[in-house]
Amino acid sequence: ADAGLAARLAHAIDNKTKPRGSLGVLETLAHQIGLVQRTTAPAIEAPAILVFAGDHGVVAEGISAFPQDVTWQMVENFLAGGAAINVFAAQNGCTLQVVDAGVAHDFGPRDGLTDRKIAHGTRNFAVEPAMTPGQCTQARGAGAALVDALPGNVIGFGEMGIGNTTAAAALMHKLTGIPAAACVGAGTGLAPDGVLRKGRVIEAAAARHAGVTEPLDVLATFGGFEIAMMAGAMLRAAERRMVLLIDGFIVTSALLVAARLQPAILDYCVFAHCSNEHGHRQMLEALGGKPLLQLDLRLGEGTGSALALPLVHAAVNFLNRMATFASAQVSEKS
């Protein structure tokens, strides 16, 4: 059935009024979305970006350029509509849901904030596991349940969490074997000596937790609540045959965990953007991901996914709306 569908999709794409292959990666994307939705006439319905926020005990090691309070302050900024992701999601017709996965701050009941707080930040993985196995399970389950409540068929992932490039780099190091020094970057703007320290913190923690190798154990030991919640959400979204928009270093680290648990998830993933965060390109390569955009962004929040959404629409639209050589009576290649 899938081979038949793939052939029908290729035929539909090749017969549009354009030289064969001339829409480049949009053709690949249209083909992929057709397979995900099991149709030659795919449709994008109610795209949503979920931004997961969480704090990280590892900030005690001095691995971030910004103070931890920025996590909750930026959540407030999301709720007030003043962050980059608010602007880009609104522009491109994408709903935005802000989730407290584990911020070290009491927001109280707040309109527009989805409270799924696991705890007030993780523990410091330089000293002890970031979370308990139970907390990790709870976070993944909460992510899956959020996906079940979505009406649409495209989900983008975003995150906010001071210190979370350190957690993501640790996951990358443990799950790919790439040296810690190649996994760490400047994050929000760390100076070179800080980046070196970040690498040493990860190396020391990896040595301390050397026996931890199973993906879920690695996630619990080094991850963050927002990362675990995203991993759970991603797995459920693929089960529901949604298109997953993947951007950014931290979002991609959640996918790295999810793909170790369920490799077929990659069939559902559209890689939105290759970040300027050092290590992201290698992380994408480890997943075989080819990003649509390279805009030198290094902001997170799901901004790359929001910005790539028009290209996803373009892929679906050309497949549904362009004339064929026959219908338009255009001569084919001689």
Nearer to its own copies, 33 or 237 (CB): 33
Residue with tokens 């449709």: 43
* Residue 67 within binding range of its own copies, rule CB under 8 A: yes
Residue 191 burial by Cβ neighbours in a 10 Å radius (0-12, 13-18, 19+): exposed
Q: Is 285 marked active-site?
A: no
Maximum alpha-carbon separation in the chain: 70
Query: Which residues contact residue 57 at a Cβ distance below 8 angstroms, ignoring those fewer than 6 apart?
Result: 121, 122, 123, 124, 125, 127, 130
Q: Which of residues 71-130 bind its own copies (CB under 8 A)?
A: 73-74, 76-77, 80, 82-84, 86-88, 91-92
Nearer to its own copies, 246 or 307 (CB): 307
- Please provide residue 51's backbone torsions phi and psi, each rounded to the nearest 5 degrees: -105, 120
- The residue from 18, 197, 200, 240 that contacts its own copies (CB under 8 A) is 18
Site string for its own copies, 185-224 (x = CB under 8 A): ---xx-----------------------------------
C-alpha–C-alpha distance, residues 62 and 160, integer Å: 18
Nearest distance in Å: CB 84, its own copies: 6
What is the DSSP track for 1-33? Answer: -HHHHHHHHHHHHHTBSS-TTTTHHHHHHHHHH
Q: Which of residues 277-306 bind its own copies (CB under 8 A)?
A: 292-299, 303
Catalytic entry in 27, 61, 226, 301: 301
Nearest distance in Å: CB 220, its own copies: 28
Site string for its own copies, 20-59 (x = CB under 8 A): xxxxxxx---------------------------------
From residue 31, alpha-carbon distances to 1, 42, 196, 239, 241 in Å are: 15, 9, 43, 19, 15
Edge-first strand order for the sheet with 243-247 is: 113-115, 95-102, 48-54, 154-160, 243-247, 269-273
Nearest distance in Å: CB 318, its own copies: 5
Q: Which of residues 224-263 bind its own copies (CB under 8 A)?
A: none
Residues at the interface with its own copies (CB under 8 A): 16-26, 65-67, 69-70, 73-74, 76-77, 80, 82-84, 86-88, 91-92, 188-189, 276, 292-299, 303, 307, 310-311, 313-314, 317-318, 321-323, 327-334
- Catalytic positions are 301
